[in-house]
Amino acid sequence: MTSIKRFLAAGVALLAVAAGAAQAQDFNAAPNYGTLNLTTGFSPDPAVVNVTAGGELNAANLSSSCRGSISNAPDVRLNFRAGSSLPLIISVASSADTTLVVNGPDGSWYCDDDGGVNGLNPALRFNSPMSGRYEIWVGSYGGDLAASQLHVSEVSSQ
């Protein structure tokens, strides 16, 4: 390979990496619908935030277990202080087919599609929740924006 071809190949590879980085979720961005600060035993339960599901990015780029279209910034930031044997349940209620993506306090990605109630709603259950920051994205499976409610509970998924 000539040095010019190597230079061009390196440039194309660099552009591909830069384009991929621009598509990554920014869990430090200001959340689209605000921040919840909750301590175990919170009331009312569930805590509910109205959101619009969906976005311009494919959640599958984060993990093969993630589905749907999500925004770059998280929809909701949850600062949670655990302290009991209660689970932490994050779910979505919507008439549309929604998905859920969560970046947990441990830096891991947690995703669900259709694990909640009513068939097309997602839910994630953390049986021994960690204290810390949970970045939450509500996705749209079909790509359309959809009115939704994010529910955070310790007693049931909505």
In the chain, where the domains are located = 26-153
Sole residue written with tokens 């049931």: 156
Class of CATH domain 26-153: mainly beta
pLDDT of the chain, 158 residues: tens digit per residue:
454 444 334 343 333 333 333 456 788 899 999 999 999 999 999 999 999 999 999 999 999 999 999 999 999 999 999 987 899 999 999 999 999 999 999 999 999 999 887 778 999 999 999 999 999 999 999 889 999 999 999 986 55
- Check the CA dihedral 98-100-101-103 and report its sign: positive
Name, in order, each residue with C-beta under 8 angstroms of 104's C-beta and a sequence gap of 6 or more: 110, 126, 130, 132, 134
pTM for the whole thing? 0.83
* CA–CA gap between residue 47 and residue 38 (Å, rounded): 9
Residue 64: both structure tokens together: 């093969």
Q: What is the DSSP string of 68-109?
A: SEE-SS-SEEEEEE--SS--EEEEEE-SS-EEEEEE-TTS-E
